[in-house]
Amino acid sequence: MTQGRSREDVIKQDVHDLHRLGYAQELFRNMGGFSNFAISFSIISILTGAVILYDYGLAWAGTAAVVIGWPLVTVFVLAIAASMSEVASAYPTAGGLYYWASKMKNKNWGWWTAWLNLIGQFAIVAGINYAAAGFLNATIIDRLFATTFNTYELIPGVLNGQLITMGILMLVQLAMNIAGINLVALLNQVSVWWHIVIVAAVVILVLVTGKPNESGLTLGAIQPLDQGGSWNNNLGFVNLQYGPAIAYPVVLAFFFSLLQANWTYTGYDASAHVAEETVGARMASAWGIFLSVAVSAIVGYLFLIALTLHLPSLGTLFPADLANADAATYSQYYFGGGVAVIDILVYNLGQLGNILAAGIAIAMAFCGLSSVASAGRMLYAFSRDDGVPGSGWLKKVSHRYRTPANALVGIVVVSWLFTVAAFIVGTGTAIIIVTAISTIFLYAAYGICIYLGVTTSEWRSHRVWSLGRWSMPIAWIAIFWVVVLMVLFSFPTSGNISWPFMIGTVVLLVVYYFAWAKNRFAGPRVMGAEAELTELEKEFEHAAADLTGA
């Protein structure tokens, strides 16, 4: 029951709302509010982003990356999530941001928002699953088979063990996603409790039985650690290896370290992407977006503080010859290797630390499952309006499972190939390339929608989740942060070559837009009148019954 109404009545209202937006109920609407929250919480996954980039943050800014950086980023991301929640409650449709921008402004704004969001979706699926594969290899496969599969190269410089495991993992995630939203929703719920149990175990065990902090770092101080690479704390400046030969203040290193927190806080637009499969979608999607960030903020900070209070000697975390290493070598340890967290857990808890690290690897796999689900819905929704090449195939929905099966296949294949390309270009820095790109492009899409929300008003009459008089100031704070991180995370820091990718991609999109989309892309399309939409829905129901023998 919802506000005195039965579940059936709520679903009827959801379908009616969807019809008003012009679409038929092709996907299976069965997700509850907790499941909607769970998919965004699972994609944020503090046991993925915060873990994989822990050594990145530590290297750039010392313990300040966690102690100061996490709460600082949290404030701004909560503002972004709150502003997005308002718009989500007005337009409860798959594809989310693309549809919002189209309706708030026009099809051209929608097209650009869609492509920025889609590229970010490909990159976040790639980053999450590449990281998950690395952790699964290091904590489970290597221990079972006494090997170092991550470094095994099937094709030197092109295909290694981490990419192979990633491909297998994504095939499993694809099969589960195609099998239906009920399975995905169930696994997302399991994922929430899995994350909470693992975090609770780490926090309690490390704080109660952990060993003393032997890092020599001052808690909360900005202390870049690499004396031989891009920054030099002793001399008081940061020299960016891939940028101009200019000495920047060391405080700049702290801002670069914020990628650790900000990449963790990505993907919470998933609650909007599954709106067409959620019961009570207007409120559930809005709360799913906001609460997934709020809960992750608290749980994540407890987890990171516990680790940061019990660091081993820095010589344990990083190689002794770091000062003499070149970029390709030290980036293996500083840019997302995942080595730091495993070593911290083993230092404090011994063999139990290895078991918890394996638990973290499984949490990452859950995160990847959710990211594929979200990205698949986004690609499906954009294809439904013929916004991408191959839309005719990509927008087809499985009659048996009522899932966007072809779009899910597209997401998995392109994301894996994208990671292979990043590996070929960046090798050890592949993870920082895909994480920076996903953060930049996803937040660019978030920022456009929030900006349009500030500068238009018609949508406000449709929202049911409102910030009231705080709506405008919070939105402007959100926009400010999006602009800041666009600069920070595209900056040519060592190992981060996302900026040429970003420039090249935008150039290609400009060419594509003027050559085709500007005159041919029609934007969100009405699939038919109420009666036609209802008839289309009956066809899906009958097809499902025939396929299952019901």
- 3-state SS, 479-521, equals HHHHHHHHHHCCCCCCCCCHHHHHHHHHHHHHHHHHHHHHHHC
Residue 407: per-residue pLDDT: 96
Taken in order 421, 269, 38, 339, the sign of the CA dihedral is positive
Taking the CB of residue 180, how many other CB atoms lie within 10 A of it?
Answer: 18
**Nearest 10 degrees: CA dihedral of 132, 136, 138, 142?**
-150
Enter the tokens of residue 432. Answer: 């920082």
Taking the C-alpha atoms of residue 63 and residue 218, their distance in angstroms, rounded to an integer, is 7
User: What are the C-alpha distances in Å from 397 to residues 23, 323, 402, 543, 544?
Assistant: 13, 54, 6, 12, 11
Residue 195: per-residue pLDDT: 95
Over its C-alpha atoms, the chain yields an Rg (Å, rounded) of: 23
Picking from 115, 176, 193, the residue whose alpha carbon sits closest to that of residue 373 is 176
Residue 438: per-residue pLDDT: 82
Half-sphere exposure of 376 (CA within 13 A, CB side): 33
Taking the C-alpha atoms of residue 287 and residue 283, their distance in angstroms, rounded to an integer, is 6
Contacts of 9 (CB under 8 A, 6+ apart): none
Taking the C-alpha atoms of residue 316 and residue 270, their distance in angstroms, rounded to an integer, is 38
Answer whether 43's CB lies under 8 Å from 295's CB.
Answer: no
Cβ-based burial of 240 (10 A; exposed 0-12, middle 13-18, buried ≥19): buried
SS3 of residue 21 by DSSP: coil
In 206-261, beta strands by DSSP E = 231-232, 237-239, 247-249
Please give the model's pTM, rounded to 2 decimal places. Answer: 0.89
User: What are the C-alpha distances in Å from 167 to residues 160, 392, 420, 434, 539?
Assistant: 11, 26, 10, 16, 35
Enter the tokens of residue 449. Answer: 């929608």
**Nearest 10 degrees: CA dihedral of 412, 418, 424, 427?**
-80
User: What are the C-alpha distances in Å from 8 to residues 50, 168, 280, 402?
Assistant: 40, 39, 10, 19
Per-residue pLDDT of the chain (550 residues; tens, 9 = 90+): 455 678 888 988 988 888 888 888 888 888 899 999 999 999 999 998 888 888 888 888 889 999 999 999 999 999 999 999 999 999 998 878 989 999 999 999 999 999 999 999 998 899 889 889 988 998 899 888 878 887 788 888 788 888 999 999 999 999 999 998 889 889 999 999 999 999 999 999 999 999 999 988 899 998 877 554 444 444 455 555 444 555 667 788 888 889 889 988 998 999 999 999 899 999 999 999 999 999 999 999 999 999 999 999 877 776 554 444 443 344 444 444 556 898 899 999 999 999 999 999 999 999 999 999 999 999 999 999 999 999 999 999 888 888 899 999 999 999 999 888 888 876 656 666 677 778 889 999 999 999 999 999 999 999 999 999 999 999 999 999 999 988 887 776 655 556 777 788 889 999 999 999 999 999 888 777 777 788 777 777 665 555 444 4
Picking from 258, 254, 262, 259, the residue whose alpha carbon sits closest to that of residue 77 is 262
Residue 50: per-residue pLDDT: 87
Paired with 247 in beta bridges are 239
Taking the C-alpha atoms of residue 300 and residue 65, their distance in angstroms, rounded to an integer, is 13
Taking the C-alpha atoms of residue 429 and residue 127, their distance in angstroms, rounded to an integer, is 11
Taken in order 280, 285, 288, 290, the sign of the CA dihedral is negative
Paired with 155 in beta bridges are 159
Residues 25-526, CATH architecture: Up-down Bundle (1.20)
SS3 of residue 231 by DSSP: strand
Which H or E run includes 155? Answer: strand 153-155
Taking the C-alpha atoms of residue 460 and residue 475, their distance in angstroms, rounded to an integer, is 13
DSSP character string of 406-453: HHHHHHHHHHHHHHHHHHHHHGGGHHHHHHHHHHHHHHHHHHHHHHHH
How does DSSP classify residue 464?
S
Residue 35: per-residue pLDDT: 92
